[in-house]
Structure 1
Amino acid sequence: MGYHPSYLDHFLKTQSFILRGDGPLPYDYRHYIAIMAAGRHQCSYLISLQKQEFILQGGDPAWLKGLTYIPQKLRNLYDINKILAHQPWLLNKSHIEKLTKGKDSWSLAEVVQAIVILAHFHSLCSFVFSCGVNQELDQAGGYRYQTSEEVHRAVALNANSNSKTEPKAIPIVNDTRQDWKQSSLASPPSPTEPEVGITTIMQRMKTLSEQTQECTPVELTKRFENVENQSAELIAVGPEPQETPADIGIFVDDSLFMYHDFAKRGDHEISTFRVQDYSWDDHGYSLVNRLYNDVGNLLDDKFKTAYNLTYYTMGGRTDVDTSRFRRAIWNYIQCLLGIRHDDYDYGEINQLLERTLKTFIKSACCYPQRVTKKDYDRVLREFKHSEKVHVNLMILEARMQAELLYALRTVNRYNMTN
Structure 2
Amino acid sequence: MVSHCLAELEGASADVETLMKRMKQLTEQSDAEDSQEEHIKQFEKVERQSLELAPKGEEQCCGDKSDLSNYLRDPEFKYKDFAKRGEESKLPTFRAQDYSWEEHGFSLVNRYYPDIASLLDGKLSLTSNLTYNTMGQNTMVDTSLLRRAIWNYVHALFGIRHDDYDYSEVNLLLDRSLKTYIKSVCCFPEMTTYKDYSHFWKDFKDSEKVHVNLMVLEARMQAGLLYVLRAIMEYMK
> Do the two structures share a fold, i.e. TM-score over 0.5?
yes
Q: Which residue of structure 1 lines up, in the alignment, with residue 227 of structure 2?
A: 406
Q: Choose between structure 1 and 2 for higher RCO, CA contacts under 8 A separated by at least 6 residues.
A: 2
Q: Which residue of structure 1 lines up, in the alignment, with residue 8 of structure 2?
A: none
Question: Retained in 2: the 8 A contact 1:329–1:394?
Answer: yes
Say whether 1:263 aligns with 2:83.
Answer: yes
Say whether 1:347 aligns with 2:168.
Answer: yes
Q: Which residue of structure 2 lines up, in the alignment, with residue 214 of structure 1?
A: 33
Q: Which residue of structure 2 lines up, in the alignment, with residue 123 of structure 1?
A: none
Structure 1 residues 190-249: Cα deviation after superposition (integer angstroms, max 9, x where no partner):
xxx983100000000000000032101111111111111111122334553274653x44
Q: Answer with 1 or 2: which has the greater Rg.
A: 1
Q: Which residue of structure 2 lines up, in the alignment, with residue 232 of structure 1?
A: 51
Question: Retained in 1: the 8 A contact 2:12–2:175?
Answer: no
Measure how far apart 1:289 and its partner are.
Answer: 1.5
Aligned equivalents of 1:218, 1:194: Cα separation in 2: 25
Aligned equivalents of 2:54, 2:234: Cα separation in 1: 35
Question: Retained in 2: the 8 A contact 1:238–1:372?
Answer: no
Helix, strand or coil: the match of 1:278? coil
Q: Which residue of structure 2 lines up, in the alignment, with residue 252 of structure 1?
A: 72
Helix, strand or coil: the match of 1:391? helix
Change (3 A) 1:199 1:273: same
Helix, strand or coil: the match of 1:294? helix
When the two chains are superposed, the root-mean-square deviation of aligned CA atoms in Å is 1.9
Aligned equivalents of 2:154, 2:91: Cα separation in 1: 19
Change (3 A) 1:201 1:267: closer
Q: Which amino acid aligns with 2:40?
A: T
Structure 1 residues 17-49: Cα deviation after superposition (integer angstroms, max 9, x where no partner):
xxxxxxxxxxxxxxxxxxxxxxxxxxxxxxxxx
Question: Retained in 2: the 8 A contact 1:198–1:315?
Answer: yes
Unaligned runs of 5+ in 1: 1-192
Q: How many residues matched?
A: 223
Measure how far apart 1:257 and its partner are.
Answer: 1.7
Q: Which residue of structure 2 lines up, in the alignment, with residue 47 of structure 1?
A: none
Aligned equivalents of 2:56, 2:202: Cα separation in 1: 17
Q: Which amino acid aligns with 2:54?
A: I
Identity of aligned residues (%): 54
TM, length-normalised to structure 2: 0.88
Q: Which amino acid aligns with 1:363?
A: S
Measure how far apart 1:369 and its partner are.
Answer: 0.7
Say whether 1:310 aligns with 2:156.
Answer: no
Aligned equivalents of 2:133, 2:122: Cα separation in 1: 20
Structure 1 residues 295-340: Cα deviation after superposition (integer angstroms, max 9, x where no partner):
1110000000000001100111111111101100000000000001
Measure how far apart 1:373 and its partner are.
Answer: 1.3
Question: Retained in 1: the 8 A contact 2:105–2:230?
Answer: yes
Q: Which amino acid aligns with 1:218?
A: E
Aligned equivalents of 1:380, 1:278: Cα separation in 2: 33
Q: Which residue of structure 1 lines up, in the alignment, with residue 4 of structure 2?
A: none
Aligned equivalents of 2:94, 2:149: Cα separation in 1: 18
Helix, strand or coil: the match of 2:71? coil
Q: Which residue of structure 2 lines up, in the alignment, with residue 274 of structure 1?
A: 95
Helix, strand or coil: the match of 1:375? helix
Q: Which amino acid aligns with 1:196?
A: A
Q: Which amino acid aligns with 2:78?
A: M
Unaligned runs of 5+ in 2: 1-10
Question: Retained in 2: the 8 A contact 1:238–1:371?
Answer: no
Helix, strand or coil: the match of 1:263? coil
Name the stretch that deviates more: 395-404 or 261-270. 261-270
Structure 1 residues 246-283: Cα deviation after superposition (integer angstroms, max 9, x where no partner):
3x444322111211100129775531000110000000
Aligned equivalents of 1:238, 1:269: Cα separation in 2: 26
Runs of 4+ that moved beyond 4 A: 265-269
